[in-house]
Chain A
């Protein structure tokens, strides 16, 4: 609960919970884990959030491990419950692709990508439902000062995935429409060839807004949710009455959050399909 120098303040508690385990290059050129938020900030771009990456990758590996195992032990006659669930996920991904993706183009990558996004983002969001102190306190016992277990509350993670989507948008736009076609689309819409600079600004802003809104929407929702959980957790140390109230609040917020995490994962998936569909469309 304490911040790095041991003080037990509300602000310190919140800051501690919102700090990542950062490994990076200090201004003096040495690489080490950051001790405190200021040191982490001083590392600039040459730093990595170890907790975000480890949790994100572990959750992804678990996700694929479960799916591979289900695929290998696939039984037509006696499907297990897990198999039925995974099948429903595959169907959902395929249906989303079929219903949303442009019929002009065929792309076998969209449905697997939709599945990956939905399940992975859902898993990362799901960590939000683990009580906020459990794993950080365990980590502290193990000697790790910072542990932020919800990767999607890390703006790098959310924007990183959005950046990947952006790369795919550019790749498919160039591949399907060609450089000239893509440039025309950016320059000649919506006001025709006499307002090319204006069009360009408008379209480029629109293009950049796609990944930004995609990433920040997920990040904002999850970050806000996490913050509320942290605030609720602070009530536990503020007397019996507030503690009980905090318990009720946490229960209510958790239940509401089940909806939020699923919805955010779904929105991320659907918007990715929509953006890539636009990248495939000819005008």
Chain B
């Protein structure tokens, strides 16, 4: 076991290695490890945030849905109401229209009846005149009795 220069050589090598490790090996590795630690921490934080955001979103969505449901119910109710109103209105309109039509038809019928009666009276009167003239052709002088006949016609017209 000779103690010799190897001792010094090893001492210098050792100090050099420690220096080299501190300068060139330790920092990149430790930094990379630290960076990853931060990444993981950030990732976990982000995941938590995401979870929270999801919870909030779910709550909001539920609220929106319930709101929409009430709104829909309201809309349906009002639509029903409106429908009923429309139907009622239509019914009223139809009834009044019917009455109007019936009334106008009655008027028309009355007018027809009146016209027919008028014509009938004219015909009856002319027939009466014809008949009377036929009977009185020989006895009545048309000129002498014209006034009488005219009164008769007038009377017929009036009745």
Interface residues of A (CB under 8 A from B): 20, 22, 24, 40-41, 43-49, 52-53, 56-57, 60, 64, 67-68, 70-72, 74, 76, 86-87, 90, 94, 108-109, 111-113, 115-116, 120, 151, 154-157, 159-161, 163-164, 167
Are B17 and A64 closer than 8 Å at their CB atoms? Answer: yes
- Bound-state CA distance A6–B30 (Å) is 53
Say yes or no: is B39 at the interface (Cβ < 8 Å to chain A): yes
- Bound-state CA distance A151–B10 (Å) is 10
Are B29 and A90 closer than 8 Å at their CB atoms? Answer: yes
Are A156 and B7 closer than 8 Å at their CB atoms? Answer: yes
Contact partner, B5, options A47, A67, A90, Cβ 8 Å: A47
Say yes or no: is B45 at the interface (Cβ < 8 Å to chain A): no
Q: Can you identify 18 A-B contacts, CB atoms within 8 angstroms? A: A44-B4, A46-B4, A48-B4, A68-B28, A70-B29, A71-B25, A76-B36, A87-B33, A112-B21, A113-B18, A116-B21, A156-B2, A156-B3, A160-B6, A161-B11, A164-B10, A164-B15, A167-B11
Are B17 and A160 closer than 8 Å at their CB atoms? Answer: no
Minimum C-beta distance from A203 to chain B (A): 23
B3 contact set on A, CB distance < 8 A: 45, 155-156, 159
Knowing A112-B26, A161-B11 are in contact, say whether A47-B32 is a contact too (CB < 8 A): no
Say yes or no: is B135 at the interface (Cβ < 8 Å to chain A): no
- Bound-state CA distance A97–B22 (Å) is 14
Knowing A90-B29, A156-B3 are in contact, say whether A115-B21 is a contact too (CB < 8 A): yes
Instruction: Specify the chain B residue showing the minimal Cβ separation from A73.
Output: B32
Contact partner, B1, options A52, A155, A167, Cβ 8 Å: A155
